Structure 1
Amino acid sequence: MARILLTEDDDGVRMFVQRALMMDGHSVATAEDGTDALEVLSESDDSFDLLLTDIQMPEMDGIALAKSAAKSWPDMTILMMTGFAEQRERCDSLSVIVHDVVSKPFSLAEIRSAVKGALSGRAAEEPVSIVRAMVG
């Protein structure tokens, strides 16, 4: 399975997504913000297949992280997530480096499907809806 770096500042969301991805057999490392994620990427002996990152985070946001990661690790797929429509719009100019943006809240099945699609190079099979509740 894939090696994934999950970057999310909300502890509950980070644990929810990490467990969801581990259910599919993925190896999941975590980071709390973009600065922490760049450290994990730089210090890792093995490459990551996927960077799954929130957009809005303290220190370094997901967009700055994606730009930096794409320069240093161009073969790594980047999938972003956000609960804010205006943040999603900020990603429009990043379509060359970002596979897709998943809207929060999402269900367990939705995030697993989005990751599966990103790893296989295709968009999620079903649009992700913001009307569903997830974690608090």
Structure 2
Amino acid sequence: MARILVAEDDPSVRAFVVSALTMKGHEIVAEEDGGLAAETLDAEEGRFDLLLSDIKMPIMDGIGLALHAGARYPDLTIVLMTGFADQRERAHGLDALIYDVIPKPFTLADLVAKVDDALHGRPVEVVSLGQQARGQ
């Protein structure tokens, strides 16, 4: 399975993501902000299959982390997560650098599908719970 670096400042979301991906057999290293994730990425010399990062975090946000990772480890697949529409728009300026953005809130199935697709290079459309409720 894959080796994944998770950067998420919300402890409950971080625990959910780590638990979900560990249950799927992935090796997970989790950090609570982008600065720590960048340090871990550098200490490990980029030896991860995927970087899964929240966009809005203290110290270094997910955009800064993606720029850092992309400059040093161009083969690393990057998926960003956000619950803020304006942050999602910021991420789309990085289309050449990131694989995709997964909107919060997401289900276990959404997360696992997005990670699997990112690891295998197949784009998938994730439908958030709000869109499902509105029939979109």
TM-score w.r.t. structure 1 length? 0.92
Say whether the 8 Å CA contact 1:51–1:77 is kept in structure 2: yes
Query: Structure 1: which 5+ runs fail to align?
Result: none
What is the aligned length? 131
Task: Give the secondary structure class of the aligned counterpart of 1:128.
Answer: coil
Q: Distance in 2 between matches of 1:41 and 1:117?
A: 22
Q: Percent identity?
A: 52
Deviation at 1:87, TM superposition (A): 0.4
Tell me the equivalent position of 1:14. 14
Say whether the 8 Å CA contact 2:46–2:73 is kept in structure 1: no
Tell me the equivalent position of 1:33. 33
> Structure 2 vs 1, CA of residues 80 and 46 (structure 1 numbering), >3 Å: closer, same or farther?
closer
Say whether the 8 Å CA contact 1:7–1:54 is kept in structure 2: yes
Deviation at 1:46, TM superposition (A): 6.7
Deviation at 1:92, TM superposition (A): 1.2
Say whether the 8 Å CA contact 1:79–1:98 is kept in structure 2: yes
Q: Distance in 1 between matches of 2:129 and 2:95?
A: 21
Say whether the 8 Å CA contact 1:102–1:128 is kept in structure 2: no
Tell me the equivalent position of 1:23. 23
CA RMSD, Structure 1 to Structure 2 (Å): 1.3
Q: Does 1:88 align with 2:98?
A: no
Say whether the 8 Å CA contact 1:3–1:48 is kept in structure 2: yes
Deviation at 1:128, TM superposition (A): 2.5
TM-score w.r.t. structure 2 length? 0.92
Q: Distance in 1 between matches of 2:32 and 2:111?
A: 18
Tell me the equivalent position of 2:128. 129
Tell me the equivalent position of 1:116. 116
Q: Distance in 2 between matches of 1:5 and 1:31?
A: 8
